[in-house]
Amino acid sequence: MKQVGRELGVRYVLEGSVRRGGNRVRINAQLMEAETGAHLWADRFDGLLEDVFDLQDKVASSVAGVIEPELQAAETARSASRRTSNLSAYDLYLRAYAMSFTYQQRQALALLEEAISRDPHYGPALGLAAQCCQQLVANLNASDRDAIRRKGIVFGRRAVEVAGDDAGVLADAAMALAVPGEDLDAMIALVDRALAFNPSYARGWYISGFLRLWVGQADLAIEHGEIALRLSRRAVKNPTFLIDTALFFSRRFEEAVPRLRVAIEDQPAFPNPYRYLAACYAHMGLLDEARGMIARLRSITPEVMVDLLLPYRNPQHRELFLSGLRLALGETA
């Protein structure tokens, strides 16, 4: 494997094999680090010989979908071990990417701004910086929220300008620009463009699902969320949260409740699942449970109501969420 890496000039190698038994075919695939021989990912695919073309399409889609997040994680770990005094724009981006997954948005944004100062046309850094700004805007206690919002819009628009056919940059920019109030239909067109470039981009499907949810298409949001999960669960911080919230807006509260509980356990510092679970309980008439969830929410943020930051175009969806929170708070719905 080391020799292959040296001769090809690559750090990672995807290898596989095909075995046939009667009318059945098994394809094995694994992603490896060339220098160490470490396995990053492995899977197998079984099918019938007469369905071999469908099997090939399944393998191609699955492998393409998993490679990007697995390599992102491997490259992030590699960057973290580098000397801080010798960081390129790429390494700064990778470190910021890791921080953004643990809700250290301000620290991540500082690294990204340094990366952008070194390379003003670095699309991934611009897209992620826009995302960090969008997430910081959600902190209602931030004294510089308006300035961060304006900065995020600038980063997002610059990301679109330099994106070209980079699906990741286009999708990040679409998500970041949709929240501060850019035209949702235009942002959906942007993420559709990203997925046309890379139909196996799991994060792109996840972002597309949220944009569909925000325009009121809950069923389509669930469909896109399921595609994202099938392609890769590592591509986003809260892989099931999109489907959880879409179930809530579909009034499928009993289905949403156990999923939201899991989302909270997976990411206890992320406030939104607490809000949706409290609203679920309230609409189900479980007011004690709703109040208990509000108490847990207040242990991580003083802000319960988020009316100013809701991007939902459907007024019924917006009111369903806010009325649930009001009930959970003991206010008149």
CATH, residue 273: 1.25.40.10
Neighbours of 266 (CB within 10 A): 14
Give the Cα separation of 309 and 172 in Å (integer).
18
Between CA 148 and CA 300 the distance in angstroms is 21
Q: Cβ atoms within 10 A of the Cβ of 197, count?
A: 16
In this structure, the answer to whether residues 35 and 95 fall within a common structural domain is: no
Amino acid at 174: A
Final residue of a structural domain among 22, 51, 79: 79
Query: Is the distance from CB of 65 to CB of 95 less than 8 angstroms?
Result: no
| Structure confidence at residue 204 (pLDDT) | 93
252 located within any domain: yes
Query: How is residue 18 written in tokens?
Result: 């095909």
Per-residue pLDDT of the chain (333 residues; tens, 9 = 90+): 888 888 888 888 888 888 888 888 888 888 888 888 888 888 888 888 888 778 888 788 777 777 777 777 777 666 555 544 456 888 899 889 888 877 788 999 999 999 999 999 999 999 999 989 988 886 655 678 889 989 999 999 999 999 988 898 999 999 989 876 668 999 999 999 999 998 888 899 999 999 999 999 999 999 999 999 888 877 777 788 999 999 999 999 999 999 999 999 988 888 889 999 999 999 999 999 999 999 999 998 887 887 656 788 899 999 999 999 999 998 754
Largest CA distance in the chain: 69
Which among 14, 44, 79 is the end of a domain? 79
Do 97 and 172 fall into the same domain?
yes
Specify the amino acid at residue 158: R
Same domain, 94 and 64: no
Residue 89 lies in a domain: yes
Among the candidates 154, 178, 199, a domain finishes at 199
Number of domains in the chain: 3
**Cα–Cα distance for residue pair 227/195, rounded to 1 Å:** 12
Report the half-sphere exposure of 165 (CA within 13 A, side-chain side).
4
Measured CA to CA, the distance from residue 258 to residue 273 in angstroms comes to 11
The type of residue at 110 is A
Query: 272 in a domain, yes or no?
Result: yes
| 207 lies in some domain | no
Q: Which domain holds residue 44?
A: 2-79
| CB environment 138-166: b (16+ within 10 A), e (fewer) | bbeeeeebeebbebbbebbebbbebbeeb
Residue 44 corresponds to which tokens in the numbers above?
A: 């197998």
Structure confidence at residue 270 (pLDDT)? 83
This prediction has a pTM of: 0.78
Pairing state between β 24-33 and 12-21: antiparallel
Sheet holding 12-21, edge to edge: 12-21, 24-33, 39-48
Q: Which of 47, 36, 61, 19 is nearest to 195 (CA)?
A: 61
Statement to judge: residues 55 and 121 lie in one domain: no
Asked if the structure places residue 210 within a domain, the reply is no
My answer on whether 69 and 119 are in the same domain is no
